[in-house]
Amino acid sequence: MRAVSICMIAVLGLLDAGCVDNRPVHYYTIEPPPALVTPSAPAGPALIVGNIWAPSELQDGRIRYRIGSNEVGAYEFRRWIEGPGTMISESLARTLSASGKYRSVIEASSSATGDYILRGRLYEFDEVDGETIQTSISLRVDLVDLRSRQAVWGDLVQHE
């Protein structure tokens, strides 16, 4: 009886191992729009692009999709190359730098110095399935004066 039980467990284990999905994982990233103008000697403020906070459900790398206003799911085999918060902060830094409106634009680090820091909170970063496939983004962005530590500008950006 004991030998039959061991054989059954071994057979079930082999069957379970044979059911592993071998589909490849596909990785995606976002790219900023191309620069329109790049003046030669910008005289604007120095910006630091800080962290874009994202909720834990967006940090596991899986691409989220939305069906209707209340249903959200995640693809198992489609993933972001980096966390959405990191991709957005890097994209903001590249886009702002390419605009030529700022003396310097750098990503936040312990040695970063500047006049203002741009930071944000990502609320939504989902694929929306409908007649066409789009991305829905909801992002709060704040600009803080580093001298006074006061927010000088803020906005909630929602776009599809």
Contact yes or no for 146/114 (Cβ under 8 A):
yes
Which position has the token pair 């918060």?
85
Of the candidates 98, 145, 84, which has an alpha carbon nearest to the alpha carbon of residue 118? 145
* Other CB atoms within 10 A of residue 151 CB: 11
3-state DSSP call for residue 117?
Answer: strand
As a whole number of angstroms, the distance between CA 61 and CA 76 comes to 10
**Spans of all domains in the chain:** 25-159
List, for residues 95-138, the tens digit of each pLDDT value: 898 888 999 999 888 788 899 999 999 998 888 777 877 778 89
Strands (E) in 46-89, as ranges, are: 46-53, 62-67, 71-80
List, for residues 19-78, the tens digit of each pLDDT value: 556 788 888 887 766 666 555 566 789 999 998 999 988 888 898 888 777 888 899 898
3-state DSSP call for residue 106?
Answer: strand
Pick the CATH number of 25-159 from 3.90.120.10, 3.40.50.10610, 3.40.50.150, 1.10.1060.10: 3.40.50.10610
Query: What does pTM read for this prediction?
Result: 0.73
